Structure 1
């Protein structure tokens, strides 16, 4: 059974593990710090969102554990490849699950709970959830996806607004800052679908992909936070003001407002 003591031990492991990564490269170090903070921020957000789900004490600790560990593979990815870009051979999902297994981080938990945690980590970053997701994991996974995206929208809306383009290439996934926006991206947004990662070839398309996450939010509080913090508007203001961009922003904004 996952109790407060076990959770605190997992949290202590995470702090020690994440703090073991450092770099003389200023941008790399900035991103180590960013990912560490993102993990703790996701814990705070998922705790807030969990109040909609009437979780018991153990379930709340499971959700917090998932939030804390969901991006643990980013540290090794950044150290080894100096990027946040995933590929089939090397991605932060597999790296994260591997390190949790090799260090036996979840060794005191029941096997069913361990599998729920791994399932949530495995699927937290895909465009749309497969129907094969374990029913027991589904609520935790939806909570994680919302909490994760809310904090990423917070990070990126600030970055796009306050910093010079190209100042953190890792956050931009090394994408070219070009004005082109494909018909596939436009169609997805206008059809109220999350833009597929495979269709993202430029930084502007990545921004629209991130704005389209609104179509996959699961909880009323998630819509409320995104609306109150003006994340979509801040990202929109960093995009070129072409007719198609204005159309897409209007579409995501209407969807958000209709779900408040």
Structure 2
């Protein structure tokens, strides 16, 4: 039954995206980027679920959360031309509002709908509150890992194969300055996920994205990131300052210790 619900929601999702009429090429590019990201995250859920006690129904429910986790990004891009979250333009709030207004989860029970909404709500929080219900945790953790793995795939590919400045929205409209924030350095040396509020330049952004490895939950996640060499690809596009080399070394050690 959950697989049927997923299929129906996927049909709605594809029709929803097709409804945006975009003239700006970079916006169209990013709409497509986010659509592809969504479906890769859905597939990663299945792969990561092999490390969990999730049954088939739970996996389908987690995949529904994955399908809808970035739903608000499409409105954010189409109507506001940005990936940057603010109090007024937050992609999670936009997505949850769209889900509610369109009654997208009507085929799910109230409990299942709550799991989907809560998974979306917490999928990119810096830290999870300790008060989260234990029943929700597996769904939230698997979505957080799948999302981070694919973000690393996207940015490693972009930084390695595209001229800087080609996609200002993916670069969060940040300045291309050589400076690296002291707070970014301190977080990474302390093996902590960088707070996005401390990101001031494109170099900071790259290091923030690399620091996603400090916030993973599954051994399989570390294995995928290690095998795909995402960190190395991003590192090779950074200035080879001593502090950058120190941060990269710290991240490599952390990654290897999780395998």
Normalised TM-score (structure 2): 0.98
Instruction: Note the C-alpha offset of 1:125.
Output: 1.1
Q: CA RMSD in A?
A: 0.9
Q: TM-score, normalised by structure 1?
A: 0.98
Q: Spell out, residue by residue over 1:124-174, the C-alpha distance to the aligned partner (whole angstroms, 9 max, x if none).
A: 111111212232111111100110011111010010001011100110011
Match of residue 83 from structure 1: 82
Q: In structure 2, how many angstroms separate the alpha carbons of the residues matched to 1:22 and 1:251?
A: 45
Match of 1:193 in 2: 192
Contact 1:22 1:32 in 2 (8 A): no
1:137 matched residue in structure 2: 136
- How much does 1:88 deviate? 1.1
Runs of 4+ in 1 over 3 A off after TM superposition: none
Work out whether residues 195 and 212 of structure 1, in 8 Å CA contact, stay in contact via their aligned partners in 2. yes
- Whole-angstrom distance in 2 between the partners of 1:197 and 1:80: 23
Structure 2: runs of 5+ lacking an equivalent: none
Name the CA distance, whole Å, in 1 between partners of 2:195 and 2:132: 19
User: Alignment partner of 1:27: what SS?
Assistant: helix
Instruction: Answer yes or no: is 1:122 the counterpart of 2:106.
Output: no
Aligned residue in 1 for 2:96: 97
Verify the 8 A CA contact 1:21 1:32 in the aligned structure 2: no
Q: Return the alpha-carbon distance in structure 1 between the equivalents of residues 217 and 37 of structure 2.
A: 20
How many residues are treated as equivalent by the alignment? 259
Shift of 1:54: 2.4
